[in-house]
Structure 1
């Protein structure tokens, strides 16, 4: 493969290329199939090791994590040098230095891991590999982000207090006058403690299904318009108990990982609905584009927005929210907490 063919295509206007300057960012780092296999194995091991260490920062878990990062650094040293690889190795060495302490500062480790994740994507794009392997590496990056906590552990649930005595039933009052039509019902959504992972990649863009205190990353829109919920994905939709109209959508995004994209990235939220007897959801209405678009993302960077909608729903229809990067955004992997609300009249 030559260094300026945009992953096998001799121009920059192919549908799988997301930025017009793709040919200025060629694949330059050769990697053997054996080295690629080791890289995939190490990333898979890091997913479980990082989760285990933050769940229980014992000395055994610390040494296991230190060993994996040392192996990863040794593997990168086998590859041809590149700006992306050199920067990644500096971050890994900083992580190794921190983990060599018997009691590493967990806040510093979280910050270094977020920088490590941000540097992984450009490094993956520099490798001379086929698109399927690149997509696999990006999926593993999404899992790494999801395995890393965004803050401290949730405390234990307090004890339930005793039930109070039931009071006497009061007399039925007179029927009052009919009140004015209300402003509708507000349905809240939130990603909870698991950051949403939003990825624009060469093969397919993937986003996150937004639920009620939880989220499901790694989901793609089929043809850019629909999602069919598979058994392994779960259900993040709610059912409309009556007919109505969705009149507005509001959303908020807070970054949990730093990123320096090639060009500005923008987060969007879309409403999808499905008939009562179907698990296939279709995009409805206009997407909510959160502002500002990010030319650079720091941990804690935010974007928000609200948009008027006019989406009719029938009783029994299922309603789903989907968070992703806009198609105009460059190839990138963005992570953060997301919340939203819709109003139904």
Structure 2
């Protein structure tokens, strides 16, 4: 059996040495390029402690959950305004290289039964971004996933909501990404109880 001297690998049949520096006359050259990768998936999960989502003041103010890697942070959110994490736990993922966020999937599973009466609640997951050196997070355009189905009436433990969306959102090295789960009043009637559950999501960056 011939052996590629630079590589020290026994060659069986008409194979090319995997070593790109191989220049031996028996097996010159290198192999072709591989298949382009599909990107890197960033996971988010509340872990062992469920998140409690609430909404008051006609849906303008509520307690949402910033979800990280096996942990979550309750934060007060005001509709349409950025989130300032200065002085709070760092629950965000730091982007190591420039890329494009092109897909988001999320789900939420209730861990406490509740009765919404005549109200209808909708759970959403929104990707937030802060530029390098900043604690001010703003929603990524197109980065909101509305989970289905909406909640109404009596909700049992283990009710599963899910959703996915595609987008084109450039990110730069050093940016921080944070996934925020929130609940809204889809029916216009007040939600008198917290929606409590385990949340998770995945973000793909290419």
TM-score normalised according to structure 1 size: 0.48
Q: Where does residue 63 of structure 2 map in the other structure?
A: 206
Look up the match of 1:341.
Answer: 202
Aligned in 2, Cα 1:260/1:194: closer, same or farther, shift over 3 Å? same
Q: Distance in 2 between matches of 1:229 and 1:343?
A: 24
1:276 is aligned to 2:132: yes
Q: 1:245 aligns with which of 95, 100, 124?
A: 100
Q: Report the CA distance between 1:174 and its aligned residue.
A: 1.5
- In structure 1, distance between residues paired with 2:51 and 2:173: 30
Query: 1:124 aligns to what?
Result: none
Alpha-carbon distance between aligned partners in 2 of 1:276 and 1:327, rounded to the nearest angstrom: 34
Instruction: Tell me the CA shift for residue 328 of structure 1.
Output: 3.1
Aligned length: 174
Shift of 1:205: 1.1
Distance 1:222 1:281 in 2: 13
Gaps of 5+ in 1: 1-169
Residue 69 (structure 1) aligns with: none
User: What SS is found at the alignment partner of 1:242?
Assistant: coil
- Per-residue Cα deviation, 1:134-163 (whole angstroms, up to 9, x for no partner): xxxxxxxxxxxxxxxxxxxxxxxxxxxxxx
Q: What is the CA-CA distance between 1:221 and the residue it aligns to?
A: 2.7
User: 1:265 aligns to what?
Assistant: 121
Equivalent position of 2:86 in the other structure: 230
Supply the distance in 2 between the matched residues of 1:301 and 1:171 (Cα, whole angstroms): 58
Q: Which residue is equivalent to 1:187?
A: 42
Structure 1 residues 204 and 177 mapped into 2: Cα distance closer, same or farther (>3 Å)? same
Q: 1:211 offset after TM fit, Å?
A: 0.6
Post-superposition CA distance 1:277-329 (Å, at most 9, x none): 10000001231011000113111111111111111101111111000013536
Asked if 1:318 corresponds to 2:163, the answer is no
Alpha carbons of structure 1 residues 177 and 196: separation in structure 2 relative to 1, 3 Å: same
Runs (5+) with no aligned partner, structure 2: 1-6, 10-17, 21-30
Give me the CA root mean square deviation. Answer: 1.9
Do the aligned partners of 2:54 and 2:195 also contact (CA within 8 Å) in 1? yes
| Contact kept in structure 1, 2:129 and 2:138, CA below 8 Å | yes
- TM-score normalised to the size of structure 2? 0.78
Q: What is the DSSP-based 3-state SS (H/G/I as helix, E as strand, rest coil) of the residue aligned with 1:276?
A: coil
Taking a change above 3 Å as real, the CA distance of residues 311 and 171 of structure 1, as seen in their structure-2 partners, is farther
Q: Distance in 1 between matches of 2:161 and 2:86?
A: 30
Deviations 1:256-278 (CA, angstroms, capped at 9, x unpaired): 11111132211100000011010
Quick one: distance in 2 between partners of 1:197 and 1:171? 60
Determine helix, strand or coil for the equivalent of 1:257.
coil
Cα gap change, 1:177 to 1:191, in 2 (>3 Å):
same
2:162 is equivalent to residue 304 of structure 1? yes
Match of 1:147 in 2: none
Q: CA–CA distance in 2 between the matches of 1:171 and 1:299?
A: 60
